[in-house]
């Protein structure tokens, strides 16, 4: 799930479906009760520790901790690779993202039916919103304040609760993807350097603050955005999915702009790698869909 959540166009929720843990994940997230924190007051005695343990098991917290550790490990590893790709070959990397997102939209549109005016309106609104936002965020620099990072974390976490829609895609749409992957890489590198004594922990304040803010936003998103999306799906499922999938189509404007900006001339030697990257990206999603075509989104 962590590897999928790191790549725009691929959903960690889909991986949860494939591995058979999706319903358990949603149940565990929506079962979290802040009131259980009061049980920590009695950890000094055996009966208090037992009550705390039983409550945590009841909420399936051990499952969430193990899953979270796996997700974090994969995110750290994969985001480093993607960040290096963006630095070395930005045009081809965004072409790969274009293929991933376009194929994802095609696959998901096959699951939808725009049979009512409400669904059509939701689709048009989603496309228009993403098209406008992606035009603003493409190539934008310096719009990375902590409130924006916090909101980005809350929004990106939808990939964990909605199969088919990628959290990393939303980071690309918001213009935060490259910045956050670079910040995470800098934080992890700095942390290792601090552990071996090459740097001080104070040098990690800037990158660490950004990482923590994003994580806090994601946690808040789990208990707010997750519930909101489940409510929308329960009451307006078709319209909600139409809106979300149309967001993906409208957001294709961003990788197109990035490919254009990082391509000096439209010569065959420059265009061929972009086409190949698009085909590979789209092929990854279509191959995944081929092996998950019996899943209901």
Give the total number of structural domains in the chain.
1
**Domain housing 26:** 2-290
> Is residue 297 assigned to a domain?
no
Of 100, 75, 12, which is closest to residue 214 (Cα–Cα)? Answer: 75
Of 130, 133, 142, 204, which is closest to residue 179 (Cα–Cα)? Answer: 142
- Residue 19 near residue 288 (C-beta atoms within 8 A): no
> Is residue 296 assigned to a domain?
no
Of 100, 123, 135, 147, which is closest to residue 4 (Cα–Cα)? Answer: 100
> Is residue 177 assigned to a domain?
yes
Q: Please tell me the pTM assigned to this model.
A: 0.71
> Is residue 295 assigned to a domain?
no
- Residue 171 near residue 180 (C-beta atoms within 8 A): yes
SS3 at position 10: coil
State the sign of the Cα–Cα–Cα–Cα dihedral 15, 184, 260, 266. negative
Residues with Cβ within 8 Å of residue 153, at least 6 apart in sequence = 213, 214, 215, 216, 217, 218, 220, 221
Give the CA diameter of the chain. 73
User: pLDDT tens digits for the chain (297 residues)?
Assistant: 888 788 876 778 777 776 768 778 888 887 888 888 888 888 888 888 898 899 999 999 999 999 999 998 998 888 888 888 888 888 898 899 888 888 888 877 777 778 888 889 988 998 898 888 777 766 555 578 899 999 889 888 876 677 666 778 788 878 888 889 889 988 988 888 888 877 777 788 888 999 999 999 988 887 777 677 767 777 888 888 788 788 878 888 888 888 888 887 878 888 899 999 999 988 988 887 777 666 554
> Is residue 114 assigned to a domain?
yes
């Amino acid at each position: 799930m962590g590897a999928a959540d790191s790549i725009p166009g691929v959903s960690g929720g889909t991986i949860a479906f494939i591995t058979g843990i999706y319903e358990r994940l949603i149940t565990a997230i929506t079962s979290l009760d802040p009131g259980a924190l009061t049980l920590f007051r009695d950890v000094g005695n055996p009966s208090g520790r037992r009550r705390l343990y039983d409550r945590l098991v009841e909420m399936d917290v051990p499952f969430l901790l193990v899953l979270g550790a796996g997700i974090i490990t994969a995110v750290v590893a994969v985001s480093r690779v993607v960040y290096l790709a963006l630095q070395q070959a930005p045009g081809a990397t965004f072409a790969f993202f274009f293929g991933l997102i376009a194929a994802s939209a095609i696959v998901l549109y096959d699951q939808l039916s725009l049979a009512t005016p409400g669904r059509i309106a939701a689709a048009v609104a989603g496309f228009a919103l993403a098209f406008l936002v992606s035009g603003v965020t493409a190539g934008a620099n310096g719009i990375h304040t902590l409130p924006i990072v916090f909101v980005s974390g809350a929004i990106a976490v939808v990939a964990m609760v909605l199969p088919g829609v990628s959290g990393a895609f939303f980071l690309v749409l918001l213009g935060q993807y490259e910045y956050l992957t670079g910040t995470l890489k800098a934080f992890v590198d700095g942390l290792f350097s601090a552990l071996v004594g090459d740097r001080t922990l104070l040098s990690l304040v800037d990158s660490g603050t950004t990482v923590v803010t994003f994580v806090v936003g994601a946690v808040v998103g789990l208990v707010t955005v997750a519930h909101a999306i489940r409510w929308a799906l329960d009451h307006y499922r078709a319209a909600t999915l139409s809106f979300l999938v149309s967001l993906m189509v409208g957001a294709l404007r961003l990788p197109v702009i990035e490919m254009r900006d990082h391509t000096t001339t439209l010569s065959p030697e420059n265009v061929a790698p972009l086409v190949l990257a698009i085909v590979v990206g789209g092929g990854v999603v279509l191959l995944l869909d081929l092996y998950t075509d019996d899943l209901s989104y």
